[in-house]
């Protein structure tokens, strides 16, 4: 007590002042003043497909990395693939921070499912939501198994976010009649005012800023999510037209490399095209490991047919089927040959793309081969000058020409190999014609060290 009484009052005041300033400094370090609310805007204005699926996945990753406080999904879509929409809605339901939807114009079919999966829905004047019946490429309703699955996920998604599950189901099922909402034979499609009335939208707004204002968010930073340049390039190669061109290059490149081994350029083009084909589909979750393995098994069987097994038999046919089949399977979202939720139109589109690429490869082989043989690139690697005897070149010591003589193919000619004429074996080649071992041949040219032959008629 005596010690306390000896401390001057001014010193006591200074002590308490310093302690207070220290506590304020610590608090300021823990809670920085004037922190803005971070709002990430994710725009979906296209068909729901694997590209959109990956786009939303990357957007949520960006939201996590940026420490976003709110995500606003700006929707204007007529729908798309149910499988991709289901993956998107699952991702949205499981994400921790608030996700709001701004329906700028339309949220139909798969778009309605995605909107219902978010915490709050706001709609622009003249916007609509609903009409979630699954349809085929022709516009006709898909089989009931697709409708049943869509009804189920619409119902469960609405329940998860406190919306009427029967109304959500009626957006799919035209036979479900709800008093005051829908009549039998009509699926539910809400306008903005109807969606607000029945609890499927919070309010009518004209902008994202108005949504934030309605929720009391005044100090904020808005960032619009955009794909990186790499991801934009990846999404381009998912296009079926581009996929068909890549298949054409793969087939054509492999053929030219086998016909003119050692040049390298055709093989390089085929490898690059294969990478550009497989990687985008793999990143978008379509190309599975077993499908890629099937492709390489098919290529291996074709190579075995060409280099090891004479003729064109089981290995070659099996290899072709596996190669074409894997390219088709990579483009559609099957699960180990389970096509339950794969529309017939998707299978048809994939089949058409792969077939067109294969046929294009054949055309490239037939017509491109002629142009390639006449190109400057081919001239740089191929001998163009005739090494005439008169100029001192000697490559054949045969005193008599063998033109017109017949014999048999001693080995397979693809197009080069060996032939036997009068018990003598000679190096020979064809003009590109395949000749199996043991077939009758006739010599058409006898210049240089090899003979040019064809099948005997």
Residue 94 has pLDDT above 90, yes or no: yes
Q: Which residue has the higher pLDDT, 245 or 17?
A: 245
Between 91 and 227, name the one with better pLDDT.
91
State the Cα–Cα distance between residues 346 and 50, nearest whole angstrom: 12
In angstroms, rounded to a whole number, what is the distance separating the alpha carbons of residues 360 and 366? 10
Where does residue 229 rank: exposed (0-12), middle (13-18), buried (19+ CB within 10 A)? exposed
Please give the pLDDT value at position 180. Answer: 87
Q: Looking at mean pLDDT, say which of 18-27, 94-103, 326-335, 379-388 comes out highest.
A: 94-103
Q: What is the pLDDT of residue 2?
A: 43
* CATH class assigned to 37-223: alpha beta
| Residue 103, pLDDT above cutoff 90 | yes
Cis peptide before 28 (omega within 30 of 0): no
C-alpha 192/C-alpha 217 separation (Å) is: 23
Closest of 155, 157, 134, 159 to residue 87, by C-alpha: 157
Write the CATH number of the domain with boundaries 389-455: 2.40.50.140
In the chain, CATH 2.40.50.140 sits at: 389-455
- Residue ranges of the chain assigned to CATH 3.90.226.10: 37-223
The tens digit of pLDDT for each residue in 392-445 reads 444 555 667 888 899 999 888 878 888 999 888 888 888 878 888 889 999 988
25-67 residue pLDDT tens: 544 444 444 578 999 999 999 888 888 888 999 999 999 999 9
Provide the 10 A C-beta neighbour count for residue 399.
Answer: 5
**Higher per-residue pLDDT: 378 or 445:** 445
Tokens standing for residue 133: 């019946």
Q: CA dihedral in degrees (289, 295, 299, 301; nearest 10)?
A: 90
Helices marked H in 128-287 — which ranges?
144-160, 165-170, 192-197, 208-214, 229-236, 240-259, 265-283
Q: Which residue spans within 58-97 are E strands per DSSP?
A: 70-77
Tell me what pLDDT residue 374 has: 55
Q: Within 10 Å of residue 153's Cβ, how many Cβ atoms?
A: 20
From CA 191, how far away is CA 250, in angstroms rounded? 49
The least confident of 26-30, 66-70, 258-262 is 26-30
**Residue 84 buriedness (CB in 10 A; 0-12 / 13-18 / 19+):** buried
Q: Please check the confidence at residue 104 and state whether its pLDDT lies above 80.
A: yes
pLDDT value for 370: 52
d(CA 339, CA 350): 13
């Amino acid at each position: 007590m005596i010690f306390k009484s000896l401390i001057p009052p001014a010193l006591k005041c200074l002590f308490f002042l310093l302690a207070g300033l220290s506590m304020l400094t610590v608090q300021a370090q823990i809670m920085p003043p004037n922190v803005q609310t971070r709002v990430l805007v994710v725009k979906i204005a296209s068909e729901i497909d694997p590209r959109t699926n990956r786009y939303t996945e990357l957007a949520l990753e960006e939201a996590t990395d940026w420490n976003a406080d709110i995500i606003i999904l700006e929707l204007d879509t007529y729908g798309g693939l149910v499988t991709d929409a289901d993956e998107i809605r699952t991702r949205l339901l499981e994400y921790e921070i608030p996700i709001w939807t701004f329906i700028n114009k339309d949220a139909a079919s798969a778009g309605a499912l995605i909107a219902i999966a978010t915490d709050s829905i706001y709609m622009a004047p003249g916007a609509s939501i609903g009409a979630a019946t699954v349809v085929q490429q022709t516009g006709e309703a898909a089989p009931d198994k697709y409708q049943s699955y869509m009804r189920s996920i619409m119902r469960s998604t609405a329940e998860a976010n406190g919306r009427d599950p029967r109304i959500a189901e009626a957006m799919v099922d035209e036979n479900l009649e709800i008093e005051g909402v829908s009549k039998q034979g009509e699926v539910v499609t809400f306008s903005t005012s109807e969606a607000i009335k029945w609890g499927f939208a919070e309010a009518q707004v004209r902008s994202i800023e108005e949504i934030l204002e309605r929720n009391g968010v005044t100090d904020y930073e808005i960032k619009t999510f955009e794909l990186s340049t790499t991801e934009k390039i990846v999404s381009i190669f998912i296009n079926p037209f581009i996929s068909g061109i890549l298949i054409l290059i793969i087939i054509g490149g492999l053929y030219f490399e086998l016909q003119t081994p050692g040049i390298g350029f055709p093989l390089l083009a085929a490898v690059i095209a294969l990478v550009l084909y497989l990687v985008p589909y793999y990143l978008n979750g379509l190309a599975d490991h077993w499908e890629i393995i099937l492709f390489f098994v098919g290529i291996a069987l074709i190579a075995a047919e060409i280099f090891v097994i004479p003729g064109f038999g089981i290995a070659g046919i099996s290899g072709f089927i596996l190669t074409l089949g894997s390219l088709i399977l990579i483009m559609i979202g099957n699960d180990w040959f389970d096509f339950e939720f794969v529309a017939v139109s998707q299978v048809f589109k994939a089949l058409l793309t792969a077939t067109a690429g294969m046929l294009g490869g054949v055309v490239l082989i037939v017509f491109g081969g002629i142009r390639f043989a006449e190109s400057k690139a081919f001239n740089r690697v191929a001998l163009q000058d005739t090494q005439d005897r008169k100029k001192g070149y000697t490559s054949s010591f045969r005193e008599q020409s063998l033109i017109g003589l017949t014999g048999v193919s001693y080995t397979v000619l693809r197009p080069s190999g060996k032939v036997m004429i009068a018990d003598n074996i000679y190096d020979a080649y064809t003009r590109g014609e395949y000749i199996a071992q043991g077939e009758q041949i006739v010599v058409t040219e006898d210049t240089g060290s090899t003979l040019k032959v064809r099948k005997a008629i």
